[in-house]
Amino acid sequence: MNNSLKQPANIVVWVVLLTMPYWMGFVGGYTELATRILVMALGAMALNFLLGFTGVLSFGHAAFFGLGAYGAAMTIKYIAPSSMLALFIGVLVGAIAGALIGALIVKRRGVYFAMTTIAFGQVFYFIAFRWNTVTGGDDGLNGWHREPINLGFTQLDIYHNPMLFYYFVLVIFAVSVGIMALLLNSPFGRTLLAIRENERRARFLGIEIERHIWMSFMVSCVFMALAGGLYALLNNFTDPRALRFDLSGNFVIMAVMGGMRSFWGPLVGAAIFVALQDVVSSHTENWMSVIGVVFVLVVLFFPRGILGLTRKANNS
Amino acid sequence: MSLLQVQNVSRHFGKLVAVNGVSLTVEPGELRAIIGPNGAGKTTFFNLISGFFPPTSGKILFNGQDVTALSPEQRVNRGMARTFQITEIFPELSVADNLRIAVESAAGLRLRPWLGAKDRGLVRARIDELLDLSSLTPKANRMVGELSHGDQRAAEIMMSLALNPKILLLDEPAAGMGDQETYDISRLIRRVHKQQKLTIVLIEHDMRVVFNLADRIMVLGEGAMLAEGPPEDIANSEIVQAAYLGKAA
Amino acid sequence: MQLILFDVFNGLITGAFYALMALGLSLILNLSGVINFAHGGFLALGAYLSYTIMPYTGFFGALLVAPVLTAMFGLVIERFLIRPLYGRDPLYSLLLTFGLAYIFEDGSRYIWGAQSVPYQVPAYLSSPLSTEFFFLTGYRVFMVVLVALAVGALFYVLTYTRLGMRIRAGTRDLETVSTLGVNVRILRNLNFGLGIYMAGLAGALAAGLLGLQPTIGTSLLMPSFVAIIVGGLGSLPGTLLGGLLIGVASGLTTVILPSASEAIMYVMMGLVLLIRPRGLMGEEGRVH
């Protein structure tokens, strides 16, 4: 049922991702850029689980990304030097926040849902910004770095070897994306599609809308927090910008630009967005305007995104 | 025991009284039609029965239990299914997937992250059965939003049927249809009614459909019940002629 | 005691700005279903315009003219960028105004510089009114009075003028209004302009108080969203109340726990959503 999961597309995607660090240099990139694309793509795909496949717009998802980042960073800095534990705690923090906030807002719809998520997103920004002693405030949290992973028989030095870290992230990305794909192709996933397509019909098929939106929100938050944790590990650093509303907007535009109705759309969108940001910000001070213009152009001329060939739902 | 007992329900919207003290009793296996001019409160009455919103006063018993305070989903899970005046389907999904969602929901599978082979087989068999019943099999993989109005209606009825309801509420099933489509949908409703001994309540404007299908007819006017009885009585009733058929003609 | 009064009064002023800003946002949201993320950008524009024209028009002239210019700019933006998006998923207008917010902020930085520019308030307004309540500068009192007047005027327009009545009717039921022969496109355009006028006015006023730098609008935008949610979606009096409440609350929190002065409004929002999901003055049924 999900035409975005066709075999040829899958093969292309995985071949590109598996080889990316090897050809990134030839197109003017570098390994960390490849890793950043992967991390942002995971975030955009997590957001799109909710946006594209449940039809619910969260414009405050950076909050969960940032919570994952801070959860991971603070674990290594204050608790134990373990990258895996850091990711686990990051996800846990994001999931708890998602569960609580989700429960408060699931009754809202459309613009009102979006608006409430925007406002809630800022709570954590201010906490991170103001709670200097713990979070490092505006300067961010540094003085720590990702730790090599001990597998018992061997040690993966993801700290000193960026290539190895890329493949570490790719494995996590693959597992996450695999779980999301599995969910989307299950009865649960179809229930979410039903809610996206027509909430009234879904309700009159006996589906408890709020409960399912909450669950979808949770799935989305978990993978968002995971992406955030990886982002902190990538940079060996995190600061309040990882939680701020503009990052939320960037994730949404990645999903829309790539095609929010297609499974791989957000990956494509993230790749373009991250590469563009990298290039533009190294050439001009006014990169914000360029990004702003991208937003406007995508909305006016490219609303279905690059991979989005499906037609618009008419049940709003 | 009566399957559905609506007792003296009213619904106010601010100062407007849309439904005023209407009662209705439907027996198992019956096909009941509700008619009345535009603005008579038919759809509001339907919305009260199906739980779209609660009545201002009055009580609704379904299968002997008070369901007045229950949500639509809870009523669905007790065996009440409905269609809408404006077709409510999942337009960007295929016909088969529209039915699949309904079948999985009815089977209580909607939270499952995966399905075993046995469940998958059962779901598929049920979908095929419904496709067959509605003659939609050749269009199973088409996107339902692309189909003709009549086929979309049929798909919506099949989705409701997929829930294995005890009662099916149809809100103007023939609205906006041409002659052939009207004929086809009437036959489909009759087939469902006869084959499955399914209790049906329908609102309809098309008198051919109503008099062809209904066992009993209730007439609403300005939010209140004007008359009730078998088709031949209603056709000859002077009140109804004056209040409704006269106006409609 | 004086200090507490100072903080309450200060909070009231901040709240007045939140309210002014949030009322404009609410107007646009209610009639057109657009979350105008660029609202802060319009506020900054109003502030910078009034700074730019002040040498020619004087302080009060700028206060009169700048919001009107901002509103006219708003009419153009609505006409050419936002109008094509009505009837599409609200996601798109949100993304578009989000992009505009980027462009506005970057644009003001480009034109007027990243540093804050000096915004001169007439000397007789900036001196304290009394020696005992030293914080009561004329400008602060003037601002509160002016915001009150602006809000009063807005409610007057909405209640007694033809345009206002149509806006309110359209908010309830746009379809019916359009079948009654009202040109909905013009209505939405003017309504957008009205909302942007409020933003421009807030900007021209805030510049004298908060200092004028490119991020002036963004810092007021988030609290305005909170004000709308706390007050109740769909209710303009609610928005006003919400703005004032969170302003005063954060003013008071500054006394007790300065680092939580921003967080307090989000705590309030959480509580409101928990206890009264439709907001303090929100109407039933507008939650969805």
Q: For the segment A256-290, what is each residue's pLDDT rounded down to a tens digit?
A: 999 999 999 999 999 999 999 999 988 888 888 99
Closest CA to A307 of A256, A270, A252, A251: A256
Q: Is A113 exposed, middle or buried, given 0-12, 13-18 or 19+ CB atoms closer than 10 A? A: buried
DSSP conformation letters of chain A: --GGG-HHHHHHHHHHHHHHHHHGGGGT--HHHHHHHHHHHHHHHHHHHHHTTS----S-THHHHHHHHHHHHHIIIII-S-HHHHHHHHHHHHHHHHHHHHHHHTT--HHHHHHHHHHHHHHHHHHHHH-HHHH-GGG-B-S-----EE-SS-EE-TTT-HHHHHHHHHHHHHHHHHHHHHHHTSHHHHHHHHHHH-HHHHHTTT--HHHHHHHHHHHHHHHHHHHHHHHHHHHT-B-GGGGSHHHHHHHHHHHHHH-TTSSSHHHHHHHHHHHHHHHHHHH-TTHHHHHHHHHHHHHHH-TT-SS--SPPP---
For residue C192, being part of any structural domain is answered with yes
User: Which is more confidently placed, A138 or C76?
Assistant: C76
Question: Residue C262: its chain A contacts at CB < 8 A?
Answer: 126, 130
Q: Is B215 exposed, middle or buried, given 0-12, 13-18 or 19+ CB atoms closer than 10 A? A: middle
Q: Do A193 and B113 touch (CB under 8 A)?
A: no
Contact C113, A285 (CB under 8 A): no
Tell me how far apart the terminal alpha carbons of chain B are, to the nearest angstrom. Answer: 38
- In degrees and rounded to multiples of 5, residue A149 shows phi and psi of -105, 130
Question: Residue A1: its chain B contacts at CB < 8 A?
Answer: 93-94, 97
Q: Which domain holds residue C169?
A: 2-216
Q: Which of B90, B97, B127 is best to mutate for the A interface (most A CBs within 10 A)? A: B90
**Which residues in B56-156 belong to E strands, given as ranges?**
57-62, 65-66, 80-82
Residue C241 and residue A99: Cα distance in Å, rounded? 29
- pLDDT per position as a tens digit, C80-131: 999 999 989 889 999 999 999 999 999 999 999 888 888 877 777 777 766 6
- A158-to-A155, A161, C84 alpha-carbon distances in Å: 9, 5, 49
A197 closest CB neighbour out of B72, B90, B106:
B90
The arithmetic mean of pLDDT across residues C223-246, rounded, is 91
Model-level pTM greater than 0.80? yes
Distance from CA of A288 to the nearest CA of C (A): 6
Question: Residue B160: its chain A contacts at CB < 8 A?
Answer: 204
Distance, C-alpha A56 to centroid of its chain: 15
Say yes or no: C138 contacts chain A, CB-CB below 8 A: no
Is residue A314 scored above 80 in pLDDT? no
Question: Residue B92: its chain A contacts at CB < 8 A?
Answer: 197, 261, 310-311, 313
Residue A304 and residue A297: Cα distance in Å, rounded? 12
- Token pair of A171 as six digits: 């494995």
- Token pair of C271 as six digits: 């509580």
Contact A185, A49 (CB under 8 A): no
- pLDDT per position as a tens digit, C51-87: 999 999 988 999 999 999 999 999 999 999 999 999 8
Q: Do B77 and A206 touch (CB under 8 A)?
A: yes
Question: Residue A198: its chain B contacts at CB < 8 A?
Answer: 88-91
Distance from CA of A289 to the nearest CA of B (A): 36
- Token pair of B88 as six digits: 């409510």
CATH 3.40.50.300 residue spans of chain B: 1-79+165-249
User: Which is more confidently placed, C39 or C278?
Assistant: C39
Say yes or no: C81 contacts chain A, CB-CB below 8 A: yes
User: Which is more confidently placed, A131 or A34?
Assistant: A34
Say yes or no: A220 contacts chain B, CB-CB below 8 A: no
Question: Residue A191: its chain B contacts at CB < 8 A?
Answer: 101, 104-105, 110-111
User: Which is more confidently placed, C234 or A161?
Assistant: A161
For residue C164, being part of any structural domain is answered with yes
- pLDDT per position as a tens digit, C13-46: 889 989 999 999 999 999 999 999 999 999 999 9
Q: Is B7 helix (H, G, I), strand (E, B) or coil?
A: strand
Could you tell me which residues come within 8 angstroms of residue A41 by beta carbon, excluding any fewer than 6 positions away? A173, A254, A266, A267, A270, A271
Is residue B243 scored above 70 in pLDDT? no
Contact B91, A313 (CB under 8 A): yes
Say yes or no: C102 contacts chain A, CB-CB below 8 A: yes
Name the residue of chain B whose CA is nearest to A311's CA. B92
| The pLDDT value given to residue C117 | 84
Say yes or no: C277 contacts chain A, CB-CB below 8 A: yes
- B128-to-B134, B138, B149, B210 alpha-carbon distances in Å: 10, 11, 21, 29
- pLDDT per position as a tens digit, B8-23: 999 998 888 899 999 9
B88 closest CB neighbour out of A182, A198, A313:
A198
Question: Residue C85: its chain A contacts at CB < 8 A?
Answer: 299
Indicate the angle between helix axes C216-231 and C2-32, nearest 10 degrees. 80
Name the residue of chain A whose CA is nearest to C89's CA. A316
- pLDDT per position as a tens digit, B104-160: 999 888 888 878 888 999 999 999 999 999 999 999 999 999 999 999 999 999 999
- pLDDT per position as a tens digit, A67-96: 999 999 999 999 999 999 999 999 999 999
Which chains touch B (3+ CB pairs under 8 A)? A
Domain tally, chain C: 1
Say yes or no: A127 contacts chain B, CB-CB below 8 A: no
Is residue A155 scored above 90 in pLDDT? no
If one counts every other C-beta atom within 10 angstroms of the C-beta of residue A269, the result is 31
For residue C224, being part of any structural domain is answered with no
If one counts every other C-beta atom within 10 angstroms of the C-beta of residue B2, the result is 14
- pLDDT per position as a tens digit, B170-227: 999 998 888 999 999 999 999 999 988 999 999 998 888 899 899 999 999 888 998 8
Residue spans of the domains in chain A: they are 3-301
∠ CA A311-B83-B1, rounded to 5°: 155
Residue B37's pLDDT band, with cuts at 50, 70 and 90, is: confident
Q: Which amino acid is at B43?
A: T
User: Which is more confidently placed, A213 or C136?
Assistant: A213
Residue A315's pLDDT band, with cuts at 50, 70 and 90, is: very low
Residue B245's pLDDT band, with cuts at 50, 70 and 90, is: low
Residue B106 and residue B100: Cα distance in Å, rounded? 10
| The pLDDT value given to residue C143 | 86
Contact B26, B216 (CB under 8 A): no
Say yes or no: A138 contacts chain B, CB-CB below 8 A: no
Superfamily of domain B1-79+165-249: P-loop containing nucleotide triphosphate hydrolases (3.40.50.300)
- Token pair of B73 as six digits: 């989903």
- pLDDT per position as a tens digit, C125-150: 777 766 666 667 788 888 888 999 99
User: Which is more confidently placed, A100 or A153?
Assistant: A100
Largest CA distance in chain A: 56
Residue C207's pLDDT band, with cuts at 50, 70 and 90, is: confident
| The pLDDT value given to residue A238 | 93
| The pLDDT value given to residue A132 | 84
Residue C213's pLDDT band, with cuts at 50, 70 and 90, is: confident
Closest CA to B192 of B216, B218, B211, B173: B173
- Token pair of A14 as six digits: 């995985």
Name the residue of chain B whose CA is nearest to A209's CA. B73
User: Which is more confidently placed, B219 or C211?
Assistant: B219
The arithmetic mean of pLDDT across residues B219-245, rounded, is 82
Distance from CA of A81 to the nearest CA of C (A): 30
CA contacts within 13 A on the Cβ side of C27: 30
Edge-to-edge strand ranges of the sheet holding B224-229: B80-82, B167-171, B199-203, B31-35, B216-221, B224-229
Residue B238's pLDDT band, with cuts at 50, 70 and 90, is: confident
**Which residue pairs from C175-182 have beta carbons closer than 8 angstroms and sit at least 24 positions apart in sequence?**
none
The arithmetic mean of pLDDT across residues C251-257, rounded, is 82
Is residue A2 scored above 50 in pLDDT? no
User: Which is more confidently placed, C10 or A41?
Assistant: A41
Bridge partners, C14 (sequence order): none
Interface of A to C at Cβ within 8 Å reads: 51, 57, 59, 104-105, 107-112, 114-116, 118-120, 122-123, 126-127, 130-131, 245-246, 249, 252-253, 256, 286, 288-289, 291-296, 298-300, 303, 312, 316
Question: Residue C273: its chain A contacts at CB < 8 A?
Answer: 104-105, 116
- A99-to-A89, C137, C193, C265 alpha-carbon distances in Å: 15, 47, 39, 21
Distance, C-alpha C212 to centroid of its chain: 16
Is residue A310 scored above 80 in pLDDT? no
Largest CA distance in chain B: 60
Q: Do B101 and A190 touch (CB under 8 A)?
A: yes
Query: Between A and C, how many CB-CB pairs are < 8 A?
Result: 128
A3-301 classified as CATH 1.20.5 = no
